[in-house]
Structure 1
Amino acid sequence: MKFGIHAGLWMARWTDEIAPILKHVADLGYDGVEISLLGMNDDKAAALASQIRDHGLEVTCSDGLSREADITSTDPAVQQAGLEHLRWAVRTCATLGSRGLAGVVYAPWGVFDPLNKADRTARSAHMLGQLDADLANDGVTLGIEAINRFETDLVNTAAEAVALARATGSDHIGALLDTFHLNIEEKDIGKAIIAAGDKLAHFHVSDNDRGVPGSGHVPWDVVRSSLKTMGYDGWIVAEMFVLAGNPASADLNIWRNIEPDAQGAAKQALQFMQRTFT
């Protein structure tokens, strides 16, 4: 099992420079860093790849789709723009040295159209399935993230994430589960994790307020035992958003400081992860 942390913890904007964050992550003792591809470009990715290696870190990636690049759209041009963005994201993962790409990769974040959910899901599955060769060629696994009802209406539960992954027909597409979202949407977190089975591709941790894992009421004994039951040995990444007052936090409705500072939260999170999952 490897422990990582999302660089977004330290970022005021998604376009912020990531290079200074790498030293924080390495000095704290994490195995790797998770980088959002929001604000990324080819030149930035090429430069970051060597810097990540220089710090002795591994890397995972997250990404999302815009309304102009929506693979659930009925407009073929918009669908194709979404597919091309995801193909770029897979190539960028390969450039950075990441074997994993995960997130809200199935529809734009914050778009709701529940009356057409079935058709949108079918279009998403069809378009994601077209990434199979790209994923295979670059050695990347795609993780479909189940997020809460206030952020999407398309994939809220672990079962929905797994169903969409299976509907793509690709062996290179699985599910990303996140304890913050599981805590909101699942009646039984343990059963939801176990039911994901071999489709669980990635795992995010934070507590119920998106702060340090272990500081709130997420049932961590259940999370630990469920991951152990299913034999999960992949990445566990702390994805925390704790500081109010910056654009990235506002995107996620962080209106008050959840923790006093980012560096302290990162240190406490790793200590908790090491105690809990090793």
Structure 2
Amino acid sequence: MTTSAPRNPLGVHALVWAGNTSHAEVERAVERTVAHGFDLLELSLHDLDGLDIAHARARLDQAGIEVVCSRGLAFSADVSSEDLAVVARGAELLHRSLVATSQLGGGVFTGALYSALGKYGHPLSAAGRANAVGVIRELAKEARGLGVTLGLEICNRYETNVVNTAREALMLADDIGEDNVMIHLDTYHMNIEEDDFVRPVLDVGDRLGYVHIGENHRGYLGQGHLDLTGFFHALGTVGYAGPVTFESFSSTVVAAGLSQDLAIWRDLWNDGDDLAAHAHAFMANHLAVNASAHV
């Protein structure tokens, strides 16, 4: 008797549906996530003060879907800064975001937790890197007590100067030295920084804990030039069984300020339902093919 391989949870970023954290927008994000058959909703905590955590938790529990939380930091709260007051603000914001993740019922808190999310005008300093390592190490210890795993999302050079490649992320995780810190790959960023879409997956191996799927232009999957077939095959090769989450942004949904922060200068879509239905089918098909190939 043969058994099928376990299915990766399929996720979608809330910004495909919801432009803010109002009750109505959170409810819409949860409802549309369920309607399109996703298992997981990723909530960005960029507007943590505006998020009604109890309300969101109730809607998530009622819908029976998982939640993953993510965020980046502002330059005024950059834990890779040499200014210890700035580092302290970042550490406090990460602490609050971790607590919110736990209160929402999430087991993963990920993103560019190690720096500001934006273009730097200088290389990372040794002192700044040491500050980031220290903050994330303490955050990981706190996270362990809450049953939360931290993710180091690898972002491109225009969004951080700390971690741009899988190998850099592995070195940072090694220096942090906590076993509840995992690596988070994102195909959009990999397209800019990595040599290919296979070797980084193999390098990370069983330390891979979360995946973002996004096209080179943040539009419909398969309509860009990314080697997503090779990427999914590599996931199968390392036996990755974790979440695969679709991420895409359009100013049709995302509020003006955040759209500017994300550099959404042109929209590749204006219908989140059509986009999400296509993404779900695309990811499910590639995972099914590779599951069969690696049985």
- TM-score, scaled relative to structure 1: 0.93
The reply on whether 1:123 has 2:114 as its aligned counterpart is no
Cα distance change on mapping 1:96 and 1:246 into 2, 3 Å: closer
Q: Residue 119 of structure 2 contacts residue 157 of structure 2 at CA under 8 Å; is this kept in 1?
A: no
Superposed, 1:89-108 pairs within 5 Å as: 89-108=97-116
How far did 1:14 drift?
Answer: 6.4
Q: Does the alignment pair 1:264 with 2:271?
A: no
The equivalences for 1:160-239 within 5 A come to 160-239=168-247
SS at match of 1:170: coil
Task: Return the alpha-carbon distance in structure 2 between the equivalents of residues 109 and 261 of structure 1.
Answer: 27
Q: Distance in 2 between matches of 1:140 and 1:205?
A: 22
Gaps of 5+ in 1: none
Partner of 1:152: 160
- Residue 46 of structure 2: SS of its match in structure 1? coil
Identical positions, percent: 33
Task: Give the deviation of 1:119 after TM superposition.
Answer: 3.0
**Alpha-carbon shift at residue 150 of structure 1 (Å):** 1.5
Q: Indicate the larger mover: 74-83 or 152-161.
A: 74-83
Q: Which moved more, 1:237-246 or 1:65-74?
A: 237-246
1:104 shift after superposition: 1.1
Specify the SS of the correspondent of 2:48.
coil
Moved more, 41-50 or 122-131: 41-50
58-67 vs 33-42, which deviates more? 33-42
Which of 18, 27, 51 in structure 2 is aligned with 1:19?
Answer: 27
User: Number of paired residues?
Assistant: 278
Q: Could you tell me which residue of structure 2 aligns to residue 4 of structure 1?
A: 11
1:80 is matched with: 88
Mapped partners of 1:148, 1:101: distance in 2: 19
Contact 2:140 2:150 in 1 (8 A): no
**After superposition, what is the alpha-carbon deviation per residue over 1:11-50, rounded to whole angstroms, capped at 9, x for unaligned?**
3356783222111111111001000011124971121001
Q: CA deviation at 1:251?
A: 2.1
Alignment match of 1:31 (pick from 32, 35, 39): 39
1:198, CA displacement in angstroms? 2.4
SS in structure 1 opposite 2:269?
coil
Provide the aligned C-alpha RMSD in A: 1.9
2-side partners of 1:181 and 1:116: how far apart? Answer: 19
Q: Gaps spanning 5+ residues in structure 2: where?
A: 1-7, 289-295
Kindly provide the CA deviation profile for residues 221-257 of structure 1, in whole angstroms up to 9, marking residues without a partner as x.
2111111111110010001113458413332222222
Provide the rounded CA distance (Å) in 1 between the counterparts of 2:148 and 2:118.
26
Name the amino acid aligned to 2:65.
Answer: L
Residue 47, structure 1, aligned to residue 55, structure 2: yes
